Chains A and B, each alone.
Chain A
Amino acid sequence: MSLALEINKKQLNEDSWEEPYFINMGPQHPSTHGVLRLLLQLEGETIVGCDPIIGQLHRGVEKLAESLNYNQAIVLSDRLDYIASAANNIAFALAFEKLMGLKVPRRARLIRTIVCEMARICNHLLWLATHALDIGAMTVFLYCFRDREWLLNIFEKICGARLTHTYVRVGGVRLDFTQEIIDDLYKFTEEFPNRIPDYETLIDINRIWLKRTKNIAVVSAEEAINLGLTGPCLRGSGVPYDVRKFRPYDAYDEVEFIVPTGKNGDTYDRYRVRMEEMRQSNYIIKQCLDKLPETQGEPILAEGAPDLLMPKRLKKPKPMPVPKKGVVFRGADKPIVPVGEAFAAIESPKGELSVYVVSDGSSNPWRLRIRTPSFVHISAIPELTKGHMIADLVAIIGTLDIVLGDSDR
């Protein structure tokens, strides 16, 4: 029988006072960012063992995707990491485009980059808000949400939704940017670097913050690679691995940005890495916005992309496009793709999100495997919390940036 059931039975039968002392930081808890259950084995206040139990948010995305089309599967991807859902759409779209052999036009690539970086800023703002709130600084929470509201309003102008965007589709994006959106984004990129010091002055060199985050959950570089940590968690330990630089996709080979790394691999370094990433994201958005006028008038969907519009929405009947080799159209939305497999990875705000898809020639994927960063980070919690106290546990969960929708799929 599993450890969790054994511990439960023991706790129900006797309230034993011997060491070790089991406590359950249950699925309902103000600071576990979702339904994460942690079985802690304590000695006094020190954590000796920890067993994360996930699966309460498992919706069977991988199984559902096997019964849906490639177009419909993109909708499932929004709900994975629902804080930065544009990034998940891009991962799926990249894998499917690789499978179908589509070439995305430049304008769509630039727009995708902008949207991905906006999602990154949204995610880091929410991360900072909840991390600071867990450690006790309430005011940072409200300042971050004020700026996040700004970005979410821009998202609403772009695609109509604030949280689950489904904006990036196979072959490009759904709708083009209007001039109003571009002006709003320019205003945002000018003003945002002046807002970041607002958060930093409250906590950056605050003695209490330093005491709560320095030397907590120190991970060395080899340990981090072995544990599978990616994203800011890995870069905080000094490894400069960033999928945007190592395996560039979209428009990342056209823009310049630096990848911040930390030195010690503790919580404070990861915090500084993410703050710097926000500034870099802002810079990337600005560069892409400057490049957008060059591509004015280009299509936003690749040639041969699976038709996205339902037939009755079209005003004139669309001319039958020339089918690409291996991609045949049957009706409005059922792509039939070549047999094969494809693997694509992106740098989502939380880490590396990779999609491995196997196709059998029909319009549904045969196997859609999503490797999410939160799943791996939760598996690293027992290693990271050994020897720390309960009060540090909240800081550690915060610094790993976990979302349960991402890990349970």
Chain B
Amino acid sequence: MSGWINKLKDQFSSVVLEVQLDKDYPTVICNREGFLDLIKHLKEEKGFTYLIDLCGVDYLNYKHKKFEERFEVVYHLYNLDTKELIRLKVRIKEDDCWHYSVTPLWKTANWFEREVYDMFGIKFEGHPDLRRVLMPEDWEGYPLRKDYPLYLDEEHEWSVYKKLIEKTKMERGK
């Protein structure tokens, strides 16, 4: 397993930054440029046909951080024939907050990327229909970011909820 991953580093030297084999599953840390070629190669030639998960992580104020980008998009790919799992990580800067979409390769990535956009604000280029999936359409802010509070105070509440509170206050006052 480790053999061909090291060869991967040679093959895609501009894309792959680092290969970590000491974690629970082999992790490959990649650049954003050229990422689509790498993941296409993994899907079509190495047989990783199953995208288990696509998620985002926010590393603001992470104490043990060894890199300077704020976000990370993590992919978990699985090979059904050789039963191998590989983890791909792409680092995204905060002010350059976009990434390439893998929707042409996997249809399931559609909703995963919508959720990453909804929760972190990372836009995906090439996505057919990028809009919020879990939060209401007119929500402001990206909830899973570390600078987003767990509880909102009254002024920042969602507009529909604020209107409802005002309406009940008016009706109670009557």
Contact = CB atoms under 8 A, between A and B. Distances in A.
Given A2-B137, A228-B107, A383-B107, A241 B52 contact: no
B97 interface: no
A174 interface: no
Interface secondary structure of B, over-half rule: loop
A246 interface: yes
B106 A226 contact: yes
B4 interface: no
Interface of A: 1-5, 54-55, 58, 60, 62-64, 67, 98, 222, 225-228, 239, 241, 246-247, 339-343, 345, 352, 354, 356, 358, 360-361, 366-367, 369, 371, 375-376, 378-380, 383, 408-409
Contacts, number: 98
A343 B111 contact: no
What is the size category of the interface that chain B forms with chain A?
35 or more
Given A55-B136, A343-B25, A366-B62, A379 B80 contact: no
Given A225-B80, A241-B80, A60 B143 contact: yes
B7 interface: no
Given A5-B137, A239-B80, A361-B63, A367 B131 contact: no
B150 interface: yes
B76 to A, nearest CB: 6
A378 B50 CA distance: 18
7 contacts: A4-B137, A58-B134, A62-B144, A222-B49, A225-B50, A241-B80, A343-B24
A98 B24 contact: yes
A354 B76 contact: yes
B131 A2 contact: yes
B169 interface: no
Interface string B120-149: 000000000101111111000001100000
Interface string B6-34: 00000000000000000111000000000
